[in-house]
A and B are shown apart, each in its own frame.
Chain A
Amino acid sequence: MGVYVLRRLLYAVPILIGVNLLTFVLFFVVNAPDDMARMQLGEKRVTPEAVQLWKQAHGYDKPLLFNATTTGIAQFTDTIFFDKSVRLFAFQFGASDDGRNIGADIAQRMWPSLAIALPVLIVGLAVNISVALGLALLRATYVDIGSVVVLVALLSISGLFYIIGGQFVLSKLLHLAPISGYDTGLNALKFLVLPVLIGVISGIGAGTRWYRTLFLEEISKDYVRTARAKGLSETRVLVRHVLGNALIPILTGVVVVLPLLFMGSLLTESFFGIPGLGSYTIDAISNQDFAIVRSMVFLGAVLYILGLILTDFSYALVDPRIRLQ
């Protein structure tokens, strides 16, 4: 097991280097620092001096890969590639275009993101699994057939509709929760209710349909017939045998997104004015602040790789047939 962990972590290194190189090419070769400066300064009245000044202020005035003006190791370290890309490996994100420390911003803004994403995941999982199990118990009845209509309708509706509709009905008409905003400490709770509720509801359609399919697939297997032949009740067959096996794909599907919960949700956070990483990214994109976008892309890749490694471990934990070596 230990050896397996080590090998998987080593495999992650070349993937991260690849991600890093690719983002470097995208952000600095396709979109050169001169273009960035022009965009930041506005299209009109951009003088070459102003561009030069902006580049100097933000550290983009160095050569891309190789600095011939210095000597020794500085020929490689005093470059854009080293400053902006290699430093990402040490999670040194540098400063954003408006001069803020990106690392500090991320550390501060990931908690509001997590405060929404984690409850959405846990409550959503509980709701989806229970509803799906209930539908599996009532399979091929009118309840089940009707549920197909309802669930397909639920999953066909755009997430935007849930957000705007929820804000309108629950906050504007019924005044049950604030429309948007955020606060520190426990005062944040009243701001979380609406986004969490809407997050859960918008996931029911797809989640329940998928879990119901997983349950029905397991129900048709031979060991379920064996369990029934023992004289077990249908509920016990479902909970102990079917759920136990269907949880394997469900759990591993959840584990892979666990690290990404830190990244927050772009839509929800922007609409509810939550100061998390999702709205951070959206704001950076609309402000053309490539330093932040680059950091978030890299962070996303790291967390995704972490999620995949965790998935493999969780398989070994929940499925006795799988041993890691």
Chain B
Amino acid sequence: MSTVPEAALPATTGPLWRRIGPFNPLTAVILGIVGYVIGADIVGHTLASGVDAQTATDQNDISFILGLLFGVCGFLIGLGFANYPVSRILGREASLREKEQEGLWRYFTLCTDHKVVGIQYLWGVLLFFLIAGFNAMLIRTQLLRPSEHFVSADRYISLVGLHGTMMMMMSSAIVIGPFGNYFVPIMIGARRMAFPRIEALSFWLVPCAEVVLLAAVGARGFPSGWTGYASLSDQAKLGMDCYLISFGLIAISLMLVGLNMLATTLTMRAPGMTWGRLPIFVWGVIATAILQLLAAPVLLLSMALVLMDRAVGTSFFLAGLGGSPFLYENLFWVFGHPEVYILALPGFALALELVSVFARKPIWGYKLAVAGLLGVTFLSFFVWQHHLFVSGINPALRPFYMLTTELISIPTAFVFLNAMGTLWKAKIHFTVPMLFALALFFNFFIGGASGVFLSDTPSDVSTHGSFFVMAHFHYTIMGGLVFAAFGGIYYWFPKMFGVYLNEAIGKVQFWLFFVFFNLTFFPLFIAGMEGMPRRVSAYAPHLQVINDFVSSAAYVLGFSFLVFVFNVIYSCFFNRQVPATDNPWRSRGLEWQLPTPIPVENFARPPVIQGDPYGYGNPEAVPVANLNPTPAEVTAAGG
């Protein structure tokens, strides 16, 4: 206890110009453009000249790819991400923390305060959610009629791909990004994440990726949906490179988030924070982080290999040239299936957290919940070929994958039992966050049960590639994760921003969302069973009635998010309701015991954790942490 590592100190203050510039969003954008030009026009053209396949057509993948990569690097350098590595190469002293003390500006630049990163994630991800949701509205408009009438066939496929990819990318971060970064360090009694710079990088890669993805619109789109199957991806236009690079960037981001979250929970827990006292949300984050750390590299690899096939001339996925599309399908789903639990697990954990707070009861069967989360994590690496039941890959293994897939229902069902046990004889408060959390269980059951249909190979033969699958995953992702995320927003908003979101408007949003979500997606199970394939802009005329109904419901569903946007603006600027206390929900969570706003270093003194945050109903329960321990108490607790 003798040293004060630099890392623990707040960044030095200095003159304003020093603190703002020269690394800010403006330099970032400028360097991003400069990078693109250098990459595409100078390096790219030099490398590509002489490569017939690239220059003989108007489609020069090499220079486009290099342009995008250099552009992204330029953007990150412009934000200041290169300063630290360069100092280190020269052996100079470099601060581990950056821009934590500056006002509003820090939200728009490289900042290593985990709370700032959390808020950056929240608004960044919501913005992309709205854009991708807007794409969904366009999709639904096209599907009002059984043949192309609104957009052309290629535009439609690009729209679906953009919607799906962007949604998958943003929803991998919609809970763990904002709430993981903001609250996990606090919940475990830490001042920061293990690697604050990596944390900042993991956020800034997300807007890079999303912008690169959107750039596909200007590069004639990409025809492959979010799954990007080869060898369609190989013959696609330049827009495909945008998909590949942007998903690759997300893979890096996911991997870094996973690494950071795991390191943080492994090493940064406050004295007394045993594994059995971790909030269940932290367990959810740990499980997710394991999946991210291990699965995302495989995604990075698949994207990189497709890029090589397109630009360097390798033939990984080209049948007859020594490669095989099956290789891509396997690699993609080795990532792709863990990915869907990257989406699901934080949602489960968050919902359990909310149910416990608003049922005023401890989580029933805490250990079972942990086992459920980890069990899903483990199993999810062994099921990927259920996406390939009719592909002809390994037909003999189908019973195995059927079994493993169905086995996942068991740990998932633990989470349901936890929620039901927690509601038993509870004191249920139907606040807005609670409504969202409870809706998750309703929606996710439908999603999960339809998953069990799909996991049954004979049944999957009839529904694979149909809207049944599409309804399945909207029920699990939209109905599960997105509901949980909105529950989290309503729950933590008072802590993060110091005001309530308006409750009445929140209820309006919830009911519109819940009812029209179900009206939108349930009929699509039927459409799928009736033989409506996915990703088609033309379908059998007798399905028009269902589709029109669905589209109408989807518009109202879209409207419910405008209600949310209105609620945020209204509650933040026009009708600020400041909670009377720091802990308006009477939660026992550690984050609620801190003042609002939470100070930069979170804890003035290292908290000594005394119990889990679920002491509801137990008069003898000690507070979750001693926030003002003496040094002796810290040492006694093992700190």
To the question of whether A and B form a pair in one complex, the answer is no
Chain A residues in the interface with B (C-beta under 8 A): none
Chain B residues in the interface with A (C-beta under 8 A): none
